[in-house]
Structure 1
């Protein structure tokens, strides 16, 4: 028998367990030293177009709308169009009762014609009686002047012959001077009378004619107000009245919308508004998810007082009338376009707790490398990379975050397995 002391049975069991644990730990250490394999999807870094879009919900309005309110109060006589009818500018839409207006217009027309005839007659009329008397006075004064001139001339001749005294010549000269003064006064009176009387008479006739013309024009305007025409090309969207009904004051009798173009009114933040300019391309996306191209046509210079946003108008062609005013829809406005930018899928961008951005680059040996990147424009599915990557590199997408969580030492010993490309399911044959 051996002289070695025998171990108690409990100690032997403990030694056996410790041996098992040591052996297991060695195996785990060897396994950790082996490279880990993580399955990921990859995508290439591409040169592609990317756009900065501003997205907001909006409401559609017609490009133009005319809610026609009558300028006179009268019952509806006849409505010439129905709701949904396409009309042209100047087309008669509604007639109001106007028999009284027709009579007033006819009466005012007759009064105007009479006043105009009176003016024409006055402008060609004979000289008034007072002017005729003044003309006779001028003629008499002229005859007296001629007679005194003859007497004065005769006495001068007689005085030279010594037949009369100087006094008689002087008396004749005084009489001649008086006759000349009388003639000048009569002539001046006639000229003044002719100018003033003629002018006043013509002014009075012209004033009567113009007043009659004004009353006639006013009657014609009232009559025209009873014929309601469309000011625009468009579609009749509302006609609330029927023959015999009278519109309440201030209420339209018919509404016309120009729906060949529509305007989506949206509200964006001040920051987004600064990125937009008039003329930017845009898309209107309704319930059918089919984008309709449009353009930014107006950016409000002031903030909306209720929510401190900026109102932006986007106009789109709607000649096929697919878009209906009053519809809510999504509006995408393209603020900036870069035609050739380095882009990666949005799922490839990894963000740390501090906000730094990274991408997991997969080298040709399928080893992952964490790269810090700078990003620019972002779209729904892709992101612009301005620094940190090169065209042609591969980045991990699905599964990238699992690699991102690994310690750097572990990541360096990790290899990736590229997931097979997903095939699109073919439609089942019916």
Structure 2
């Protein structure tokens, strides 16, 4: 090929330039289109990636779902046993002891004779009072007849009437003093003391016997002010002595006024002691069954305090925000605490709570295994 053939004609050179420019434009269009394609990624996908990136930087906590269940709380108290009925029997008239049917340690029923005093002096006083009544009644009848005939003043008639009434009152007193020479038991119980012997003189007001009913016992204890509102008369009670003996009974009394020193309320429970065991005065443990409640069972280690000192637990709400839930503790042991005052169902933080505080947003990981 000669030089003339190697050189392109102007027409051919223009065609080559047009082709080169077209290729360049095509490449530019392809590059622009590829850029638009990248930018046209779904915005929701980008937002999800941003959220995912943000969540991954949040504090991670382990949580459990807990639900309230029916629970019968038991309140444990320390108390003291004493006779349910106890009475000191006093002489109500003065005389010598004539008989003493009762003996120390004997169980007697209500109305049984404890002591008889010498009645002779009292019988004489009754006879004299009866004679005085007969005399003054006769004088009053005569005075009323004279008054009708206008032979006696009204003042004198009233004096006779008052004298007759006084004599009748004296007779009633004499008969009562005679009746008091026989001293009966006011309650059923064991004879715990008989300080006077037959032949000794007793004065009105002297204690001639002490009776204690230890077949029925009362247990007295004190309950804290935060617990007294959960109790009621009739609540079942289990009483356990130091030697292991157990008795059952119920609450019979709850004080309406707290002790000024301890701010606690006195309570009493009645139990039966049919065997008459000598346990009055002993200490005992009371287990009081309280009404059923809906309560959560939570490990005590998860409980915490807010700045004001309120007991509560940290949980996570639906927005994954840490929430402090105040609660009331009603029962606990080394493994679990029973609490009330929480929502029926909630998600509590079991691991990682120490790195968060109420109001923080967290990444919770719910555990399926039970607490």
Which residue does the alignment assign to 1:268?
223
Which residue does the alignment assign to 2:82?
61
Q: Following TM superposition, by how much is the alpha carbon of 1:247 offset from its aligned partner in structure 2, in angstroms? A: 5.3
Q: Distance in 1 between matches of 2:216 and 2:148?
A: 69
Which residue does the alignment assign to 1:71?
92
Contact (CA 8 Å) 1:53, 1:379: kept in 2 or not? no
Q: Distance in 1 between matches of 2:304 and 2:230?
A: 29
Contact (CA 8 Å) 1:51, 1:379: kept in 2 or not? no
Which residue does the alignment assign to 1:104?
125
**Corresponding pairs, count:** 269
Match of 1:208 among 143, 163, 170: 163
Q: Distance in 1 between matches of 2:105 and 2:210?
A: 11
1:378 partnered with 2:331: yes
Contact (CA 8 Å) 2:143, 2:152: kept in 1 or not? no
1:283 partnered with 2:238: yes
Q: Following TM superposition, by how much is the alpha carbon of 1:213 offset from its aligned partner in structure 2, in angstroms? A: 1.1
Which residue does the alignment assign to 1:29?
none
Q: Following TM superposition, by how much is the alpha carbon of 1:63 offset from its aligned partner in structure 2, in angstroms? A: 2.3
Contact (CA 8 Å) 1:51, 1:378: kept in 2 or not? no
Q: Distance in 2 between matches of 1:198 and 1:352?
A: 94
1:81 partnered with 2:102: yes
Q: Distance in 2 between matches of 1:389 and 1:275?
A: 20
The correspondence of residues 29-428 of structure 1 with structure 2, limited to 5 A, is 50-120=71-141, 194-195=149-150, 197=152, 202-246=157-201, 251-322=206-277, 324-338=279-293, 350-351=301-302, 377-378=330-331, 380=333, 383-384=337-338
Contact (CA 8 Å) 2:222, 2:264: kept in 1 or not? yes
Q: Distance in 2 between matches of 1:96 and 1:289?
A: 46
Q: Following TM superposition, by how much is the alpha carbon of 1:102 offset from its aligned partner in structure 2, in angstroms? A: 2.2
Using structure 2 for the length normalisation, give the TM-score: 0.58
Unaligned runs of 5+ in 2: 1-65, 306-310, 315-323, 346-350, 353-364, 366-371
Q: Distance in 1 between matches of 2:160 and 2:287?
A: 69
Q: Following TM superposition, by how much is the alpha carbon of 1:329 offset from its aligned partner in structure 2, in angstroms? A: 1.0
Deviates more, 1:277-286 or 1:381-390: 381-390
Q: Following TM superposition, by how much is the alpha carbon of 1:47 offset from its aligned partner in structure 2, in angstroms? A: 9.4
Q: Following TM superposition, by how much is the alpha carbon of 1:225 offset from its aligned partner in structure 2, in angstroms? A: 2.7
Pairwise CA RMSD of aligned residues? 4.1
Contact (CA 8 Å) 1:350, 1:357: kept in 2 or not? no
Q: Distance in 1 between matches of 2:226 and 2:70?
A: 23
Higher RCO (CA-CA < 8 Å; seq separation 6+): 1
Q: Distance in 1 between matches of 2:343 and 2:229?
A: 29
Tell me the secondary structure at the aligned position of residue 176 of structure 2.
Answer: helix
Which structure has greater helix proportion?
1
Q: Distance in 1 between matches of 2:256 and 2:312?
A: 36
Using structure 1 for the length normalisation, give the TM-score: 0.51
Deviation string 1:198-249 (CA, Å, 9 cap, x unpaired) is 8566545433322221221222222223221122233322222221334588
Q: Distance in 2 between matches of 1:111 and 1:250?
A: 28
Deviation string 1:138-196 (CA, Å, 9 cap, x unpaired) is xxxxxxxxxxxxxxxxxxxxxxxxxxxxxxxxxxxxxxxxxxxxxxxxxxxxxx98357
Deviation string 1:65-108 (CA, Å, 9 cap, x unpaired) is 21012133433222111123232333221122343222222211
Q: Following TM superposition, by how much is the alpha carbon of 1:284 offset from its aligned partner in structure 2, in angstroms? A: 1.5
Contact (CA 8 Å) 2:95, 2:203: kept in 1 or not? no
Q: Distance in 2 between matches of 1:296 and 1:197?
A: 68
